[in-house]
Each structure stands twice: as structure tokens, then as C-alpha cells.
Amino acid sequence: MKNVLFLDIDGVLATESHWDEDSPIVLSTGKLVPYGWNQECCDILSEIVEQFDLDIVLSSDWRLQFDLSELKEIFKFHKMNPDRLKEVTEKNLPKKMSEWSQVEMAREREILKWVEKNQPNHWVAIDDLSLIGLPKENFVMVRNSETGLNQEIVVDILKNKIKKNEQIISES
């Protein structure tokens, strides 16, 4: 994979206003999706993914509830190209309840482990958690989980980071 986007769902595509709504999605496996996603955020993500030819690796906790084929079905329901969703990061659940507070560090380790193993040309992670252990040039934080992926702020930052990564690669 040459261009990878590590994607979180809650707070990025599934905004707070959707968390209390019943989901209309029942998967072919019979599982009920707990709540819907913000379609505007999904449209923004689709635009970014297509424009920059990104493969998606899901780093969200949604990967713990649904397998890849179910996740692709959810993507398709929200009018996103399911073929862009290639993998999920390794499931690395905390062993002790006290470790759940360190979810950010666990997610950072999972992303960095995936990067080390797969060596993408460049990558960007987008999350509403503060993943300060990731290189700044590879991380975009969604600061408002009520609005999620935001055209005015997040997309500009993401485009600049992807362009910066492309420049770094072409200079190497």
C-alpha cells in the first residue's frame, strides 16, 4: 500500500449527535449497527480518499465489534467506496481495566506497528483522540466530536499533511 489513512470512526464519522439515534442498518450477518454516521462527514472522507488515492486501515474500536466484510457493508451503506477499506490494525485489547485509560497509547502503538510492518510510502492518521505519540506530520486531530470531520478545518490540515508527506517522499 502506498498511501494509507488510519481512520477512527467515533467522533470523526459518527458524531455525538448520532450516538443516541437508533441505526437503520441491519447487516447481512444479522448484526445491528448501534448508531449511524454523519453522512456529511462520510462524504468529506470519500472526497479525500479518492483525491489522494488513499487506502483505509481502520484503527477505530469498531474493528473490535465488526469484521472487515461487515465494516465494508457499513461503508457501502454510507455511500463510501468499500474497496478503499483494506485492513484493520491489530486488535490489542488491554489486559487490565486500569489500562483502558491508556487507549491513546495503545492506538498509537497499533498504528506504528502496522506502519513498521507494512512500510507504506506515506500515511496519515485521523482521530478525535489525542495521539501525541504519532509524528505531527502524520496526525490530524478532529477536535470537535459533535461536528466530526470538518470541511473548513480538518480537510485543509489533512491535505497539507498529505502534500507534505508526498514532498518528503519525492525528496528521498
What domains can be seen in the chain, in order of their start residue?
3-171 (3.40.50)
Residue with cell 473490535: 64
Higher pLDDT, 51 or 161: 51
Secondary structure element (H or E) that encloses residue 133, with its range? none
Task: Spell out a b/e string for 99-109, using b for 16 or more CB atoms within 10 Å of the CB, else e.
Answer: eeeeeeeebbe
What confidence score (pLDDT) does residue 172 get?
43
Q: Which of 84, 50, 39 is nearest to 162 (CA)?
A: 50
CA distance 52 to 3: 8
What confidence score (pLDDT) does residue 120 get?
94
Render pLDDT for 86-112 as a digit per residue (tens, 0 to 9): 999 987 666 665 554 577 888 998 999
Does position 122 have pLDDT exceeding 90, yes or no?
A: no
**3-7 and 85-88 strand pairing:** unpaired
DSSP β-bridge partners for residue 14: 10
Task: Spell out a b/e string for 79-94, using b for 16 or more CB atoms within 10 Å of the CB, else e.
Answer: ebebebbebbbeeeee
Residue with cell 437503520: 24
Secondary structure element (H or E) that encloses residue 54, with its range? none
Mean pLDDT, range 114-126, rounded to an integer: 93
CA 155 to chain centre: 14
Render pLDDT for 20-59 as a digit per residue (tens, 0 to 9): 676 778 899 999 998 889 999 999 999 889 988 999 999 9
Can you give the pTM of this predicted structure? 0.87
Does position 70 have pLDDT exceeding 70, yes or no?
A: yes
Instruction: Give me 18's grid cell.
Output: 448520532
Mean pLDDT, range 70-77, rounded to an integer: 96
Instruction: Name the burial class of residue 21, with classes exposed (0-12), middle (13-18) and buried (19+) by CB atoms within 10 angstroms of its CB.
Output: exposed
What confidence score (pLDDT) does residue 114 get?
95
DSSP β-bridge partners for residue 5: 56, 124
What confidence score (pLDDT) does residue 1 get?
60
